[in-house]
Structure 1
Amino acid sequence: MLKEIFFDQVKPAYGCTEPIAIALSTAVGKEHSTGELKAIEISLDKNTYKNGLVVNIPGTDIFGLELAASLGYICGDAKKGLEVLKNINPKCLESAMKIKNLVKISLNEKNYLFVDTTIISDNNVQILIEGKHDNIAKIVIDGKVIKNEKFNPKKTSIEKIKNFSIDKILDYIENPDTDILDFVEKAIEMNLEIAKFGINTEGNFSNAAINEYVKYVSAGVDARMSGALKPVMTVAGSGNQGLSCILPLALYKDKVSKDKLLKATLLSILVTIYIKAYTGLLTPICGAGTISAAGAAAGLTYINNGNKKQIKNAINDTLGTLFGLTCDGAKRGCALKAITGTLTALQVSNLALHNIDVPCGNGIVAEDVEETIRRVGKLTNSVKQFDRDVLDFIGKC
């Protein structure tokens, strides 16, 4: 089952996955549309809207949900899933700018990922992406339903990881499926490439990094948020989470055996997915700065020969320290939140290896790491009003 969960939750993507979900919806819709485009109407949940407002579209230095929709319609390749805008070029950008004003965005009341797109031309095509960035749940053409897979949040692949414990995940990584390790290696190389691109970019946040871990994480996140046309291996629907839970381990590439590196990175990925199962994919809590940091802390402790108790303490203490670091939308500044998470992961892992940890009962920290994670999930739900209130400020100087 972990193999199924892994491959469903770890995928390459170009650009921030919320605008990409919008682009994917219009790319799929275009395949069924006929005649001249008259309008594109898109209804979004507040989190997708929040994360798409001011993040650059891949291959451009421009942001905007309307542009994401236009690019998906003009040059998106629906068959590529989260890589839908892989082939963006100046010509399709120019064409997309001409139809951008035909796109109308509105908010709905859904509390999970929900992109409801209607393309109006000689026919009307509705595309619904629900629950996950690349889950095409419904296709309706002129009122005729040609696909309808009702979304059940209790039956998603990520929900299934709740059947495991951290101990079971730790047991699994000692004897994982070979094809998963091969894919983890691909993830490391992919995320290192965009990090190196960012490091060599003038003005990138990594230019003032205080150590190598911070340098690579901030470089990758900043480059991605700035529109670099390079793929990132996402984890639990987020490229920033993928960068933040993979890159701190990737820097051990020449320091430990390949087997140790891949298993430590796999642990970081699976812990990140495990926590996201309790918080939800899109939340008011920063995934890269908090949740991936807990994954990275687990991986860092493992790669330095920590035992099970030390690994679980590292997860516990990271969550106890960083919970409350909010997500105020996708943007370049996410790199600084990822830095905060990385620095905490490094510190907490070192403390865990010295058998120093936050006592249970201190704040939200429980004795059992699974209980701490459940508490994080509950508290995440309790601060969801933040998602609505923060929309009053994003993009306004």
Structure 2
Amino acid sequence: MSITQEQYFTYVSILKRELVPALGCTEPIAIAYAAAKAREILGDFPDKIVAECSGNIIKNAKGVIVPTTKNLKGIEAASIIGAVGGDPTRGLEVLSNVKEDDVEETRRLLEQNICETKILESPAKLHIIIKMYKGNNYSLVETIHTHTGIVRVEKNGEVLLDVPHDVEAEEDSDINYDLLNVEDIVEFANIVDISEVEEVLAKQIEYNTAIAKEGLRRPYGANVGATLLEVYGDDIKVRAKAMPAAGSDARMSGCELPVVINSGSGNQGMTASLPVVEYGRKLDCSDEKIYRALCISNLIAIYQKSGIGRLSAYCGAVSAAAGAGAGITYLYGGDLGQISQTITNTLANVSGIICDGAKSSCAAKIASSVDAAIVATMMSLRGKAFAPGDGIVKDNIQGTVDGVVRLAKEGMRETDDVVLKIMVEK
């Protein structure tokens, strides 16, 4: 066995940390969570809310419906509904208990303009500071790097929580994500005791399948998933694209069903899982085989995103789809070389897709990315591959992934700024 005991338990821990339920798009949910916590600390309902958010939070919260609000969008709506009806003990399911009266109160408070938003000038891509005021009292909650990563809490000048953190770092973590690599991920998937990961993977299948089916049943967003099935039929290649796209259709339009996320993103959680599930069922694979394939798909997605960061100008559907392609290749009996080549083939094709925030077109980007992953799978299973020197392709999978990380973090830094400027222009 090449994988060490440390790696084994780290990989199990990563899956349990990353594959958690979330209700709605995670950026407005992160705002609502911080607001719910700030309201709890204040101990009274505020007269004024100030929400300071980094550019990438603004980009991803601007155009998506806040779940449970029917049709409200934006940072102000997320902040107010979090204060009105949010339960901070529920984490990324903070809005699970919101009632109709809470939504109506949020509409009223939006009209009163009690919430002010500001761009937070921060090197951190994911950074939120919520301040609430009631008379002479105030509270402050600061979140950085992760959607529920509260690092500072204040009330009336007293610091109640101050977690040491590096604002320049992508993420502070007690888990060593540097232990992830393709060879050991595949080895882990082959040997893992399924009982140690079954709970999180079964929930991922259940939740993500449910919202995808909801997205096919009802008109959400641009109905990308339903359109694919209507136009191209019920072939497995179409279903593998349509299911995560339909889940995104529903999720971006405020559907109140939860998803199990990957790398902080519901869209990435659905992209990494649902194509694998569809192929697993088509190929009559056992539940155990599907779980092992999901270990590969999820960890490959996390492996890439741990270098890129949770938020960037690089569309996360690409890294998630590359993971899904790796999982599908495994279901077909592909070996390590073929799995690695599937990842490379996917990244060589669609690494240029930009992230311009959370909104209905995410579903189409998911479909395009999964399509590229399926092409990559079929190529690798037939011994066909993009060669080293073909653009960003290197002579090994680690080199190719490292190059994509550089592309996303360094090459697309200015792209990120330009995308945000375009989005906020009137």
The interval holding the TM-score normalised by the smaller chain is: over 0.9
Letter in 1 for 2:81: L
Q: CA deviation at 1:132?
A: 0.2
Contact 1:241–1:292 (8 Å) recurs in 2: yes
Deviates more, 1:86-95 or 1:76-85: 86-95
- Show CA shifts across 1:177-229 (max 9, x none): 42312211110111000000011013622221132112211110110001000
Letter in 1 for 2:186: L
> Unaligned stretches of 5+ in structure 2?
1-9, 233-237
Contact 1:137–1:149 (8 Å) recurs in 2: yes
Q: Which residue of 1 aligns with 2:417?
A: 388
What's the secondary structure of 1:232's corresponding residue? strand
Q: Which residue of 2 aligns with 1:222?
A: 249
Structure 1's consecutive aligned runs of 4 or more residues displaced over 3 angstroms after TM superposition are 152-159
Q: Which residue of 2 aligns with 1:53?
A: 62
Contact 1:181–1:266 (8 Å) recurs in 2: no
Q: 1:256 to 1:50 in 2, by over 3 A?
A: same
- Show CA shifts across 1:87-142 (max 9, x none): 22321111112223111111122232100111111411110111100111110111
Q: Which of 350, 353, 367 is the equivalent residue of 1:322?
A: 350
User: In structure 2, how many angstroms separate the alpha carbons of the residues matched to 1:278 and 1:18?
Assistant: 20
Match runs of 1:107-146 below 5 Å: 107-111=119-123, 112-122=125-135, 123-146=137-160
Q: Which of 210, 214, 226 is the equivalent residue of 1:193?
A: 210
Instruction: Count residues with an aligned counterpart.
Output: 396
Q: CA deviation at 1:31?
A: 0.8
Q: Which of 71, 76, 86 is the equivalent residue of 2:96?
A: 86
User: In structure 2, how many angstroms separate the alpha carbons of the residues matched to 1:2 and 1:36?
Assistant: 42
Contact 2:170–2:309 (8 Å) recurs in 1: no
Q: Which of 371, 383, 387 is the equivalent residue of 1:355?
A: 383
Identity, in percent, stands at: 30
What's the secondary structure of 1:174's corresponding residue? helix
User: In structure 2, how many angstroms separate the alpha carbons of the residues matched to 1:320 and 1:371?
Assistant: 12
What's the secondary structure of 1:162's corresponding residue? helix
Q: Which of 32, 38, 41 is the equivalent residue of 1:32?
A: 41
Q: Which of 92, 101, 106 is the equivalent residue of 2:118?
A: 106
Match runs of 1:236-247 below 5 Å: 236-247=263-274
Is 2:227 the partner of 1:205? Answer: no
Letter in 2 for 1:362: D
Is 2:313 the partner of 1:287? Answer: no
Q: Which residue of 1 aligns with 2:22?
A: 13
Contact 1:131–1:151 (8 Å) recurs in 2: no
What's the secondary structure of 2:153's corresponding residue? strand
What's the secondary structure of 1:371's corresponding residue? helix
Q: Which residue of 1 aligns with 2:324?
A: 296
User: In structure 2, how many angstroms separate the alpha carbons of the residues matched to 1:23 and 1:270?
Assistant: 28
Q: Which residue of 2 aligns with 1:269?
A: 298
User: In structure 1, how many angstroms separate the alpha carbons of the residues matched to 2:363 and 2:45?
Assistant: 41
Q: CA deviation at 1:82?
A: 0.3
Match runs of 1:134-173 below 5 Å: 134-152=148-166, 153=169, 156-157=172-173, 160-173=176-189
User: In structure 2, how many angstroms separate the alpha carbons of the residues matched to 1:396 and 1:197?
Assistant: 34
User: In structure 1, how many angstroms separate the alpha carbons of the residues matched to 2:19 and 2:165?
Assistant: 20
User: In structure 2, how many angstroms separate the alpha carbons of the residues matched to 1:298 and 1:156?
Assistant: 28
User: In structure 2, how many angstroms separate the alpha carbons of the residues matched to 1:110 and 1:324?
Assistant: 25
User: In structure 2, how many angstroms separate the alpha carbons of the residues matched to 1:158 and 1:383?
Assistant: 28
Q: 1:56 to 1:212 in 2, by over 3 A?
A: same
Q: Which residue of 2 aligns with 1:76?
A: 86
Letter in 2 for 1:113: L
Letter in 2 for 1:348: A
Letter in 1 for 2:88: A
Superposition RMSD in Å: 1.6
Contact 1:54–1:330 (8 Å) recurs in 2: yes
User: In structure 1, how many angstroms separate the alpha carbons of the residues matched to 2:294 and 2:145?
Assistant: 26
Q: CA deviation at 1:8?
A: 1.7
Is 2:106 the partner of 1:96? Answer: yes
User: In structure 2, how many angstroms separate the alpha carbons of the residues matched to 1:360 and 1:322?
Assistant: 17
- Show CA shifts across 1:318-346 (max 9, x none): 11111110001100110000000111111
Letter in 1 for 2:369: G
What's the secondary structure of 1:126's corresponding residue? strand
Letter in 2 for 1:108: L
> Unaligned stretches of 5+ in structure 1?
none
Q: CA deviation at 1:312?
A: 0.4
User: In structure 1, how many angstroms separate the alpha carbons of the residues matched to 2:97 and 2:277?
Assistant: 28
- Show CA shifts across 1:129-169 (max 9, x none): 11100111110111111111122437734972222321111
Letter in 1 for 2:77: L
What's the secondary structure of 2:129's corresponding residue? strand
What's the secondary structure of 1:41's corresponding residue? strand
User: In structure 1, how many angstroms separate the alpha carbons of the residues matched to 2:175 and 2:355?
Assistant: 22
User: In structure 2, how many angstroms separate the alpha carbons of the residues matched to 1:226 and 1:182?
Assistant: 28
Letter in 2 for 1:114: H
Q: CA deviation at 1:33?
A: 1.0
User: In structure 2, how many angstroms separate the alpha carbons of the residues matched to 1:320 and 1:361?
Assistant: 11
What's the secondary structure of 1:394's corresponding residue? helix
Q: Which of 76, 96, 100 is the equivalent residue of 1:66?
A: 76
User: In structure 1, how many angstroms separate the alpha carbons of the residues matched to 2:163 and 2:325?
Assistant: 37
What's the secondary structure of 1:365's corresponding residue? coil
Q: CA deviation at 1:395?
A: 6.9
